[in-house]
Structure 1
Amino acid sequence: MKEHPLALIVDDEPDILELLELTLAPMGVACHKAVDLAEARQYLQQHSFDLCLTDMRLPDGDGIELVRLISQHFPETPVAVITAHGSVETAVEALKSGAFDFISKPVDLQALRNLTNAALRLPLRYPQRERRTRYRLLGESAAMRAVRSKIAKLARSQAPVYISGESGTGKELVARLIHEQGPRLEAPFVPVNCGAIPNELMESEFFGHKKGSFTGATHDKRGLFQTAGGGTLFLDEVADLPLPMQVKLLRAIQEKSVRPIGSEKEISVDVRILCATHKDLAALVKEGSFRQDLFYRLNVIELPVPPLRQRASDIPQLAEHILSKLAGINQITCPKLTSDALEALQVYPFPGNVRELENTLERAMTLCDSEIIEAKDLHLPKAEPPSTPTSLPVGSLEECLEGVERRAILQALERTHYNKTAAAKLLGITFRALRYRLKKLELE
């Protein structure tokens, strides 16, 4: 935390200004008070502030104007907005405009202290370039440079981020880097695969439970929100949440509090929410299988992670890193790829992305007879030209469709080394649906 922080607080209500000042003073934060946008602009020209707190409704404008002004001209100053209770749309608009965070009226003093502490832990300099992440999130393509640059900016915010992209692109790594570059670095990063939790245990896992609240509850249990307290909760495969749980999750995010099963009291939680899925959330909203209000709350800022086929120029660097890591684990000399092998890797579309590249190289390293990996050692699947039959035997439509389904499933199983969970993800279906199709097609 900075030695003598200075905050700009903007509100036309004297009672609110006094409350904010009395709360920040014991934290060693001095305050300049402004009652409208005009006075706030004057202070910004005269002083360098470590934090700005502004009400949304001001006599000569609104807080969004101030957020945009500070984001554009004073990007090193985090600005948080004070919104009316339950005004989710306003909070989301503020975050999209560049606000660091928001707090609702009536102001919860502990939440205000948490917000202030997080803002004051931000680095003094606003990151102009992606530096530290280039050795973790590899690739010098324009696409990956853009991702790293956005990570550096998002790390300075508390806004929820929706990390989109295909399976195997590295979405969890992106989430970890956002956490590690932000003010919550010293607090936990808690990843959870939403599709791996049984429905009947989901509420207990997320919110915790009290001893005796249901059969088998032999002791109090902290939920994931409490475990991630002060840090980041990463909801992987968030599209797999059942609708009843989506309602409860939305409420927890909006109210910043949870109620453990069997408890009469709500517990305040201070977490940043990051989420990811390989599915198209917007399409799921249209289908009605994902709540629109939760989608807008999670998708304040979207960070797309490009598939490997769109950054083939990064494959040589990625391959060298993967082989070096595997050689270190197995305590052997790091093998080299021939130019033909590299070319084959760069031409192949990698539907499984970086994860499939890792599996391919590990298999090649295990099976090749020397320290040189040639194209034939990669055993990459050959792309089959699409078939366009001119006629079908009478009454064989179902058989034809089953044949297409069978080939798609077998290819997915081969690419994932017969890992059914990974194959289901590659096919974009649930594990249960894959099991049903395997049984129907007699592929078990």
Structure 2
Amino acid sequence: MSDDDAIDIAIIDDEEVIRDSLRDFLARKGNRIRAFADSASAEAAFARTPPDLVLLDIRLPGEDGLAVLQRLRGEHPDLPVIMISGHGTMDTAIEAMRLGAADFLRKPIKYPDLLAALERTRRLMRLEGERNRLRATLSHVHHATPGAASGWLGTAKACQEVLAFLAAAVRTPFDSVLITGETGSGKDVIARELHQRLRGAHAPFVAVNCPALPESLVESELFGHMKGSFTGADADRPGAFEMAHGGTLFLDELGDLSGAAQAKLLRALEARLVRRLGGRKDVAVEVTVIAATNQDLERMVKAGTFRRDLLYRLNTYQLRLPALRERREDIPLLAAHFLKHFAARRRLARATFLPEALAALVAYPFPGNVRELRNLVERAVMLSEDGTIGLALLALPPVETAAAAMAAAGTVDAAAPSDPEARETLAVLVRQRWNRRVAAKELGISYEALRWRIEKHALTQ
């Protein structure tokens, strides 16, 4: 253990000699040490400042160390505890591990065994930290769309295939599925709903926004890396596949991955094996892969920008989500859902749409789909004084505008946008076959800036 690996360690042992020897040895390794002769003083200190790790004697004055372990795990679920004992049996060790102990050491403690146990525990701590980090940094911004808490919301005829697929998912296991649909149609909602049904709420769900991954870090983020494999790799790090082990990996906007990244992804999908960058061995992963895209992958295959074998590997099950304009009868239901949600956030006692406002929503083509509807309702509620939503508060663009007409027709060449920025952006997107990563590079803007332009001008394929 190096000084860079130093952590805050608490020792709970009634034998002063053992406390002092452990404290001196671990302090020389650069760790911050607190030592306690009983559990009461330790737990009082932990309530103020929890340590990173605990060494706990299994026999304490007047108390069983296993009972202390249970309390610590209840009060600090993420706190690793290594049990130590001079009277330990195999049954005791098994019981300690069953109650959540990270490791078990017998007295007299040999320092190499102690360091090995600390290293194993630190590795578990790092893995959990990386899982949390990946969930925070790789997950794309997840707007709360209908179904985020209660599943897919819709009863229209166009939704029947979606509903039937969700119902069949629990009966027909699969290891990969491809979800297609326009931007804002709810692909992330369906991915999370499938995860809940297939894996359960407690299994890991790792969402990767593929276009937002820097090209130089795609392999590291997906498959992990070893310490020293590149500049800045100061520690071993698992990738998204390893983080999703036992759960679901959601690859959003898969079509924006480079050809090199597609090849590596194909190998991982076929063998369910990943190798960290700089690593020498493969790691087996058991994971459901859900990929989503708003692009025409078949057209990209013909254009040579997407691998045919990867498409076939992902296309075992394909689910197309309908655009909101294809299920207009669901608009009142969805609008009411959002209205209730945002009215509650503003603590409005009553909120309602005027009839003309609801009729306008049903008539509007929604190039941005459910996400656009959500944003319109949110804005209207925020501007409303009494919760009554009329046409003026909705501020809908005219249905006849070029962007709405193109979206309603499902074309990009029906009419040119009047705004110069929109015309330039659309021209580049069409030229680059809607590969937004490449289009953003040609435009000289960031990927997030391009996404903002697409939503701002309601640009669609």
Same fold at TM > 0.5 = yes
Query: Within the alignment, does 1:169 sit opposite 2:185 as a pair?
Result: yes
The residue number in structure 1 matching 2:104 is none
Instruction: For residues 325-370 of structure 1, give each alpha carbon's deviation from its aligned partner in whole angstroms, at most 9, with x where no partner exists.
Output: 1122222234210111111000000000000001111122222343
Query: Within the alignment, does 1:284 sit opposite 2:300 as a pair?
Result: yes
The residue number in structure 2 matching 1:261 is 277
Instruction: Report the Cα distance in structure 2 between the residues aligned to 1:412 and 1:379, rounded to whole angstroms.
Output: 26
Shift of 1:436: 5.3
Shift of 1:296: 0.3
The residue number in structure 2 matching 1:228 is 244
Instruction: Report the Cα distance in structure 1 between the residues aligned to 2:178 and 2:257, rounded to whole angstroms.
Output: 15
Match of 1:430 among 433, 436, 439: 436
Query: Within the alignment, does 1:143 sit opposite 2:155 as a pair?
Result: no
Structure-2 change in CA distance of 1:297 and 1:383 (3 Å): same
C-alpha contact (below 8 Å) 1:152/1:178 kept by paired residues: no
Instruction: For residues 131-188 of structure 1, give each alpha carbon's deviation from its aligned partner in whole angstroms, at most 9, with x where no partner exists.
Output: x999421111122233122112124312411101000011011011111111455321
Query: Within the alignment, does 1:219 sit opposite 2:235 as a pair?
Result: yes
Structure-2 change in CA distance of 1:267 and 1:385 (3 Å): closer
Match of 2:167 among 152, 160, 176: 152
| Residue identity (%) | 41
SS at structure 1 position matched to 2:416: helix
Q: Aligned ranges for residues 58-207 of structure 1 at < 5 Å?
A: 135-155=150-170, 156-183=172-199, 185-207=201-223
Instruction: Report the Cα distance in structure 2 between the residues aligned to 1:385 and 1:211, rounded to whole angstroms.
Output: 54
C-alpha contact (below 8 Å) 2:416/2:423 kept by paired residues: no
Match of 2:339 among 323, 332, 357: 323
Query: Within the alignment, does 1:373 sit opposite 2:389 as a pair?
Result: yes
Shift of 1:433: 3.1
**Unaligned segments of structure 2, at least 5 residues:** 1-146, 403-412, 446-452, 454-461
Instruction: For residues 87-117 of structure 1, give each alpha carbon's deviation from its aligned partner in whole angstroms, at most 9, with x where no partner exists.
Output: xxxxxxxxxxxxxxxxxxxxxxxxxxxxxxx
Match of 1:404 among 403, 416, 419: 416
Instruction: For residues 293-342 of structure 1, give each alpha carbon's deviation from its aligned partner in whole angstroms, at most 9, with x where no partner exists.
Output: 00000111110111100111111111111011112222223421011111
Give the structure with higher Rg (CA): 2
Structure-2 change in CA distance of 1:412 and 1:191 (3 Å): farther
**Unaligned segments of structure 1, at least 5 residues:** 1-131, 387-400, 414-419
Mean CA deviation greater in 321-330 or 276-285: 321-330
Instruction: Report the Cα distance in structure 2 between the residues aligned to 1:262 and 1:435, rounded to whole angstroms.
Output: 29
Instruction: Report the Cα distance in structure 1 between the residues aligned to 2:286 and 2:381, rounded to whole angstroms.
Output: 45
Instruction: Report the Cα distance in structure 1 between the residues aligned to 2:266 and 2:370, rounded to whole angstroms.
Output: 32
C-alpha contact (below 8 Å) 1:134/1:148 kept by paired residues: no
Match of 2:255 among 239, 242, 262: 239
Instruction: Report the Cα distance in structure 2 between the residues aligned to 1:271 and 1:200, rounded to whole angstroms.
Output: 24
Query: Within the alignment, does 1:351 sit opposite 2:367 as a pair?
Result: yes
Structure-2 change in CA distance of 1:278 and 1:203 (3 Å): same
Structure-2 change in CA distance of 1:279 and 1:220 (3 Å): same
Instruction: Report the Cα distance in structure 2 between the residues aligned to 1:142 and 1:321, rounded to whole angstroms.
Output: 19
The residue number in structure 2 matching 1:127 is none
Structure-2 change in CA distance of 1:199 and 1:362 (3 Å): same
TM-score w.r.t. the length of structure 1 is 0.59
Instruction: Report the Cα distance in structure 1 between the residues aligned to 2:222 and 2:444, rounded to whole angstroms.
Output: 33
Letter in 2 for 1:190: V
C-alpha contact (below 8 Å) 1:323/1:334 kept by paired residues: no
Instruction: Report the Cα distance in structure 2 between the residues aligned to 1:408 and 1:358, rounded to whole angstroms.
Output: 27
C-alpha contact (below 8 Å) 2:255/2:435 kept by paired residues: no
The residue number in structure 2 matching 1:45 is none
Instruction: Report the Cα distance in structure 1 between the residues aligned to 2:197 and 2:251, rounded to whole angstroms.
Output: 19
Letter in 2 for 1:373: I
Instruction: Report the Cα distance in structure 2 between the residues aligned to 1:188 and 1:298, rounded to whole angstroms.
Output: 20
Structure-2 change in CA distance of 1:152 and 1:408 (3 Å): farther
Instruction: For residues 68-91 of structure 1, give each alpha carbon's deviation from its aligned partner in whole angstroms, at most 9, with x where no partner exists.
Output: xxxxxxxxxxxxxxxxxxxxxxxx
Structure-2 change in CA distance of 1:133 and 1:327 (3 Å): closer
Letter in 2 for 1:188: P
Instruction: Report the Cα distance in structure 2 between the residues aligned to 1:318 and 1:369, rounded to whole angstroms.
Output: 22
Instruction: Report the Cα distance in structure 2 between the residues aligned to 1:284 and 1:381, rounded to whole angstroms.
Output: 32
Shift of 1:412: 11
C-alpha contact (below 8 Å) 1:233/1:273 kept by paired residues: yes
Instruction: Report the Cα distance in structure 2 between the residues aligned to 1:134 and 1:197, rounded to whole angstroms.
Output: 27
Instruction: For residues 165-223 of structure 1, give each alpha carbon's deviation from its aligned partner in whole angstroms, at most 9, with x where no partner exists.
Output: 00001101101111111145532111111111001001000111111111111000010
The residue number in structure 2 matching 1:270 is 286
SS at structure 2 position matched to 1:157: coil
Shift of 1:384: 3.0
Instruction: Report the Cα distance in structure 2 between the residues aligned to 1:365 and 1:134, rounded to whole angstroms.
Output: 21
SS at structure 1 position matched to 2:198: coil
Instruction: Report the Cα distance in structure 1 between the residues aligned to 2:328 and 2:199, rounded to whole angstroms.
Output: 34
SS at structure 2 position matched to 1:316: helix
TM-score w.r.t. the length of structure 2 is 0.57
Letter in 1 for 2:416: V
